[in-house]
Amino acid sequence: MAGTQSRRPAKSTVRKTDGPAVVLVEPQLGENIGMVARAMLNAGLTDLRLVRPRDGWPNDTANKTASGASLVLETARVFATTAEAVGDVQVLYATTARPRDMNKDEVTPRFAAAQMRTHHQKGLKTAVLFGRESKGLHNDDVALADALMIVPLNPAFSSLNLAQAVLLIGYEWFQAATQKPDIERAIRTDTRPATRDEMVGMFGQLEDALDDSGFLRLKAKRATMVRNLRNIFVRAGLTEQEVRTLRGVISSLTRR
């Protein structure tokens, strides 16, 4: 258990489809990224994505810290925005230390892991967002997620570091291999869950239309209103067919 006796998995066996992607938004310290890689590999996870890592990429400190898990760093991808990092994702979780002032489902890692296993079996892409050390995720990133993942631990002392949070969630993922979900969203067979890209495309169309119509442009709190609207549609768990329908609705309403 405590130890450094580890075997390096062969690069050819890395499949980015092994499970949820781990997305670090604005990670600050190279050591933390390296430790995250090790935490991931403990759970058989290999799809690491970085959004604007503070010290750029690649990162020597991260490589040194990752040690036997350097495979994860070698295949890690870097993005300029969170939306781009999760463009292909159909089910997205955002980790937060405490609830946000949003209308959003909150799930335990255990429950999310069972959900993710089900999605994974259906070939859907899942991911978990982790925010900046000591700051967490920006609300705009949280708004993109289907649910908040909150790790239930001692409220009088809760101080998980980034790698520990990834480890706990990876551990639950690993445990959940044989679980049947308590609740499952059935969708029609002629469609599939929309990707984040498809959703954000529709949001962009709606927000442009609402800027033109004046609903958004004059609002002092445009950012908040945008998030609130996005939360409504993210919560619906839209299929790609529904995204297309809503785009048609927006076009039709604005065409008059």
Chain CA centroid to CA 44, Å: 17
Query: Between residues 56 and 99, which has the closer beta carbon with respect to a second copy?
Result: 99
Query: Between residues 125 and 136, which has the closer beta carbon with respect to a second copy?
Result: 136
Query: Between residues 223 and 236, which has the closer beta carbon with respect to a second copy?
Result: 236
Closest distance between a second copy and the C-beta of residue 245, in Å? Answer: 6
Closest distance between a second copy and the C-beta of residue 58, in Å? Answer: 21
Residue 190: burial class (beta carbons within 10 Å; 0-12, 13-18, 19+)? exposed
Closest distance between a second copy and the C-beta of residue 79, in Å? Answer: 19
Query: Between residues 83 and 209, which has the closer beta carbon with respect to a second copy?
Result: 209
Backbone phi, psi, residue 220, to 5°? -60, -35
- Which residues touch 180 (CB under 8 Å, ≥6 apart)? 114
Owner of token pair 């010290």: 55
Query: Between residues 73 and 111, which has the closer beta carbon with respect to a second copy?
Result: 111
- Which residues touch 30 (CB under 8 Å, ≥6 apart)? 55, 59, 60, 61, 62, 65
Closest distance between a second copy and the C-beta of residue 99, in Å? Answer: 5
Structure tokens at 3: 């130890």
Closest distance between a second copy and the C-beta of residue 201, in Å? Answer: 16
Distance spanning both ends of the chain, measured CA to CA: 66
